Amino acid sequence: MRDTKYLLPDNYETIKATEILAKEGFVVMPYMYPDLNAARDLVNAGAATVMPLASPIGSNKGLATKDFIQILIDEIDVPIIVDAGIGRPSQACEAMEMGAAAVMSNTALATAGDLPMMASAFKKAIEAGRQAYLSGLGRVLVRGAAPSDTLTGFLRD
């Protein structure tokens, strides 16, 4: 552990550890900081999943690294599991809508007022997010500049 204050993962050492463990026959599910090149190296080292953090572990701060997690979901062929930082059911739902295969939650539940009720809320949120992802999210309207003349008017046949 190279950082005892934030408990941030060390991608470089994790890649090396993944390679050793995968060679020894372990199914390796590495926690990591969402970096595309490191994620590719983890997959090449034999990782079964890639598990990026959403924000510092135990912080309940939610999807602070959202854009970078989306890049991993788009580019990496193994399942992406969002690990660390998810603080509310709505954040878990959002991660699932993005196409994450699963989320990991501990502190969000452990620090909740009623743990079983919060666990049930997470379950519903995760199911809702997954269904939304599978059904294909609807469009978001953006204001588009319409060109004054047609772009395809030059085509002859």
List residues binding other proteins (CB under 8 A). 36, 40, 74-75, 77, 136, 139-140, 144, 146-147, 150-157
Q: How far is the CB of 71 from other proteins (least distance, A)?
A: 10
Output 1 or 140, the one with its CB closest to other proteins. 140
Q: How far is the CB of 124 from other proteins (least distance, A)?
A: 26
Cβ count near 155 (within 10 Å):
7
Measuring CA to CA, which residue among 48, 47, 82, 50 is closest to residue 66? 82
Output 11 or 59, the one with its CB closest to other proteins. 11
Q: How far is CA 60 from CA 5, 6, 71, 130, 152, in A?
A: 16, 13, 22, 21, 51
Q: How far is the CB of 46 from other proteins (least distance, A)?
A: 17
Q: How far is the CB of 19 from other proteins (least distance, A)?
A: 19
Output 69 or 118, the one with its CB closest to other proteins. 69
User: Distance between CA atoms of 45 and 102, rounded to whole angstroms?
Assistant: 22
Is the separation of the CB atoms in 32 and 14 below 8 Å?
Answer: yes
